[in-house]
């Protein structure tokens, strides 16, 4: 096809191609593998014979399909005015601007009085395509917007398998594989956060294999409600749309007003699921995360007080906990819930962000002094968006909570949600947090959000409109304001675990709390789903108590540590209770994490499963080192653990291979010299051997793990 008829954007391994047509909007021709020769892309317009019983000019998928004039699939835009026919739209292309890897299309519908700006950009380093759409109401009456897809892209017929992420509290990021059929596949969140049950990301492919085959991934940069859908088209392809879900009447554009969708990030890889994840990880690392000072410092080992003491804060006990943590290698002490004014349980006090005068008669200083004297950073838990009806703040400002006229208050965990879109509310929160940051050496906030939104805002001009969208925008504004005033502070996004994890909140935060579940067995699948989209250095991963508080299962320290060390490591157990042997074992695991975090947090992640085994491999970008974690989730009938092949190493180099720990095996088994050498570090294998023959593995009883480090020999 002639260059002028085709609009192409390419990265290193992916391209999108749009076909310009004489009338109407550019048609979608391609989103997938790199187009080497644009002349080989045949034109769709004029090549599609009109099937019987179709409207004349049966439209193909264009960049922004709209309803009313012949497109019967899912529209990318839905909206209307009180009177008239503007629910049916037909846009024309008014301008095209292309510069390097960016493309901007301007569209206008003079009859409906609407204009649109579509933006596409491919980040060449990661092959991630970012798209967004902006609409402006050019009419003289309000335009009610019901849906505007941030991305509308085609998928080829062979992309017939989908992975969506489902879950619940303490079991987030569960990958559910389904076959796409004639029905529309759709996942939504209407909880005001992306929620435990619906991370805003989806994966599509033909086989969805670990390392081979075409895979498309998409994620929406938005922390509120969302819709993701995949709809079969009449020509055998499918369209994928992602965008913000609106409550009825939530977005009404006044004359001239604009709405811009969140960004959608999409990627294609010919190297299977792990290729797709590598693209996303590279993109998040380079284009999303904003570290204090510009670069990521080594991710410090946390000690979080929650499962160690819950609400029982006693200053001497906490000092002893910090000291015990420091002795085993902890680097940041995070004081969780329970520290502020009359907070003895989860029934009261949210909103009153000053230290509890009974538990901390001299404020937090004696504790922060102690923590700092140990050489540890200090972090503090807050949940600013929330208010308990039993709080000083509520008694002073009951009208600051979101509520609906004539309806009962919708309570969750005894709390209501503040209307943070009101400037006086964010001003109050900013002042309280700013005062804490000024008074204490706080390096880190754990910023929690523990309930779904279910409410509207009545105040001022909101007139009872749903508050979801405004809430997310106000949250980003408040986070940005705090980081601007205190650029060195890091913030963790927590939402009863991983209910608010996305690439928008990650522009303001440096870690997410993946799940309230610290059970290592559950964590294997939780972390696997997470790592499909986001890199390990921001994935909070804690070694919890031996007896899990959320599942009741009991696991060895080695198993818990083996799973946690592939994220941003923390402890969430009472170190004071451990005996000397357990403390020294814990200290050894923390030392291993410190020795390997550079590889895990900057490296390329591969993951996979094989029967009852799951594995993770982090490989340094230069191929000089790799850390390999193998987990046996349940037993199988095979007598031997199969050797596993490692990719990504230099085939010509030789690697020293050493297990950080080998699990004890019930009933004595004889061991081989090979396994002995794995344990003592004398095993040397070439990259080619590791790739083609594999790594010999020890026997693994159920719910045990082995972690193996490989370093290239000089
Ligand atoms: C949420 C968080 C936990 C903990 C508690 C405190 O559940 O996810 O980690 O901070 O709140 O109340």
Sequence length of the chain is 714
Which H or E run includes 588?
A: helix 580-602
- Max CA pair span of the chain: 83
Is 14 exposed, middle or buried, given 0-12, 13-18 or 19+ CB atoms closer than 10 A? buried
- Determine whether the shortest distance from the Cβ of 448 to ligand 1 is under 6 A: yes
pLDDT score of 47 = 76
Measured distance CA(199)–CA(226) in Å, rounded: 9
Which ligand 1 atom minimizes the distance to the CA of 494?
8
Measured distance CA(210)–CA(213) in Å, rounded: 8
pLDDT score of 253 = 97
Pairing of strands 625-632, 465-466: unpaired
Rg of the Cα atoms in the chain? 27
CA of 510 to the centre of ligand 1 (A): 18
Pairing of strands 128-137, 416-417: unpaired
CA of 450 to the centre of ligand 1 (A): 7
Nearest to 170 by CA among 307, 333, 346: 307
Which ligand 1 atom minimizes the distance to the CA of 572?
9
Nearest alpha carbon, ligand 1 atom 1? 496
Written as six digits, the tokens of 670 are: 């004889």
Go through 422-453 and write b for each residue having 16 or more CB atoms within 10 A of its CB, e for each that does not: beebbebbbebbeebbeebebbbbbbbbbbbb
58 as an active site residue: the answer is: no
Cβ atoms of 353 and 432 closer than 8 Å: yes
Nearest to 453 by CA among 639, 250, 691: 250
pLDDT score of 611 = 85
Q: Give the end-to-end CA distance of the chain in Å, rounded to a whole number.
A: 52
pLDDT score of 93 = 97
Cβ atoms of 694 and 643 closer than 8 Å: yes
CA of 230 to the centre of ligand 1 (A): 34
Average pLDDT per block of 10 residues along the chain, 714 residues long: 79 96 93 91 79 88 95 97 95 94 96 98 97 98 98 97 97 98 97 93 97 97 98 96 96 97 98 98 98 97 98 98 98 98 98 98 98 98 98 97 89 95 96 98 98 75 83 97 98 98 98 98 98 98 98 97 98 98 98 98 96 95 95 89 88 96 75 82 94 89 95 96
Q: Which of 123, 337, 419, 516 is catalytic?
A: 516
Measured distance CA(534)–CA(511) in Å, rounded: 11
Pocket test for ligand 1, best of 494, 498, 517, 571 (most atoms within 8 A of CB): 494
pLDDT score of 458 = 61
- Determine whether the shortest distance from the Cβ of 277 to ligand 1 is under 6 A: no
CA of 119 to the centre of ligand 1 (A): 38
Which H or E run includes 602?
A: helix 580-602
- Determine whether the shortest distance from the Cβ of 381 to ligand 1 is under 6 A: yes
- Determine whether the shortest distance from the Cβ of 307 to ligand 1 is under 6 A: no
Helix (H, G, I), strand (E, B) or coil at 699: coil
Pocket test for ligand 1, best of 448, 452, 512 (most atoms within 8 A of CB): 448
Pocket test for ligand 1, best of 171, 193, 337, 545 (most atoms within 8 A of CB): 337
CA of 496 to the centre of ligand 1 (A): 5
Nearest to 437 by CA among 520, 380, 369: 380
62 as an active site residue: the answer is: no
pLDDT score of 641 = 80
């Amino acid at each position: 096809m002639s260059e002028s008829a085709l609009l192409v954007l390419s990265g290193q391994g992916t391209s999108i191609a749009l076909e310009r047509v004489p009338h109407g909007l550019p048609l979608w021709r391609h989103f997938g593998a790199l187009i080497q020769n644009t002349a080989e892309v045949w034109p769709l317009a004029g090549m599609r014979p009109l099937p019987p019983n179709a409207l004349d000019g049966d439209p193909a998928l264009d960049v922004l399909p709209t309803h009313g004039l012949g497109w019967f699939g899912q529209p990318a835009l839905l909206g209307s005015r009180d009177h008239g026919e503007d629910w049916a739209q037909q846009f024309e292309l008014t301008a095209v601007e292309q510069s390097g890897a960016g493309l901007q299309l301007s569209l206008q519908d003079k009859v409906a009085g609407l204009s649109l700006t579509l933006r596409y950009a491919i980040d060449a380093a990661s092959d991630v395509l970012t798209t967004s759409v902006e609409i402006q109401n050019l009419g003289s009456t309000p335009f009610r917007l019901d849906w505007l897809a941030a991305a509308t892209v085609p998928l080829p017929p062979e992309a017939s398998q989908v992975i969506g992420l489902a879950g619940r509290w303490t079991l987030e990021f569960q990958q559910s594989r389904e076959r796409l059929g004639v029905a529309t596949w759709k996942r939504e969140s209407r909880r005001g956060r992306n929620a435990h049950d619906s991370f805003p990301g989806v994966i599509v492919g033909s086989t969805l294999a670990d390392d081979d085959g075409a895979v498309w991934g998409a994620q929406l940069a938005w922390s509120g409600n969302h819709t993701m859908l995949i709809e079969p088209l009449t020509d055998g392809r499918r369209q994928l749309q992602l965008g913000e879900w609106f409550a009825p009447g939530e977005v009404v554009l006044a004359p001239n007003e604009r709405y811009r969708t969140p960004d959608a990030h999409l990627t294609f890889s010919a190297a299977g699921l792990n290729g797709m994840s590598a693209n996303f990880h590279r993109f998040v690392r380079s284009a999303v995360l904003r570290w204090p000072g510009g670069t990521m410092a080594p991710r410090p080992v946390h000690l979080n007080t929650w499962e160690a003491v819950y609400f029982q804060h006693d200053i001497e006990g906490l000092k002893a906990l910090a000291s015990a943590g420091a002795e085993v290698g902890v680097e940041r002490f995070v004081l969780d819930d329970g520290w502020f004014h009359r907070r003895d349980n989860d029934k009261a006090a949210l909103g009153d962000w000053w230290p509890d005068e009974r538990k901390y008669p001299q404020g937090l200083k004696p504790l922060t002094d102690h923590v700092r004297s140990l050489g540890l950073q200090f972090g503090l838990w807050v949940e600013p968006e929330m208010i308990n009806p039993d709080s000083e703040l509520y008694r002073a400002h009951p009208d600051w909570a979101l509520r609906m006229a004539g309806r009962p208050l919708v309570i969750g965990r005894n709390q209501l949600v503040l209307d943070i879109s009101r400037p006086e509310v964010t001003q109050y929160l900013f002042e309280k947090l700013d005062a804490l940051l000024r008074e204490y050496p706080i390096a880190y906030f754990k910023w929690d959000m523990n309930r779904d939104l279910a409410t509207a805002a009545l105040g001022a001009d909101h007139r009872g409109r749903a508050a979801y969208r405004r809430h997310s925008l106000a949250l980003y504004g408040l986070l940005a304001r705090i980081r601007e005033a205190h650029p060195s502070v890091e913030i963790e996004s927590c939402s009863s675990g991983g209910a608010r994890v996305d690439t928008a909140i990650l522009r303001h935060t440096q870690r997410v709390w993946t799940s309230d579940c610290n059970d290592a067995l559950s964590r294997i699948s939780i972390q696997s789903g997470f790592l499909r989209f986001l890199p390990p250095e921001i994935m909070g991963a804690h070694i919890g108590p031996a007896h899990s508080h959320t599942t009741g299962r009991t696991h060895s320290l080695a198993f818990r540590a083996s799973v946690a060390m592939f994220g941003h490591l923390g402890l969430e157990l009472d170190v004071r209770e451990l005996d000397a042997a357990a403390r020294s074992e814990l200290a050894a695991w923390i030392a291993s994490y410190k020795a390997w975090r550079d590889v895990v947090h900057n490296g390329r992640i591969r993951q996979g499963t094989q029967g009852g085994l799951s594995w993770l491999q982090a490989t340094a970008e230069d191929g000089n080192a790799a850390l390999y974690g193998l987990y046996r989730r349940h037993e199988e009938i095979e007598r031997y653990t199969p050797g596993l092949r490692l990719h990504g190493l230099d085939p010509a180099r030789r690697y020293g291979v050493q297990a950080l720990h080998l699990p004890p095996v019930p009933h004595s088994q004889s061991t081989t010299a090979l396994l002995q050498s794995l344990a003592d570090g004398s095993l040397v294998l070439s990259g080619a051997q590791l790739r083609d023959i594999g790594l010999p593995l020890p026997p693994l009883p159920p719910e045990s793990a082995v972690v193996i480090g490989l370093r290239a020999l000089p």
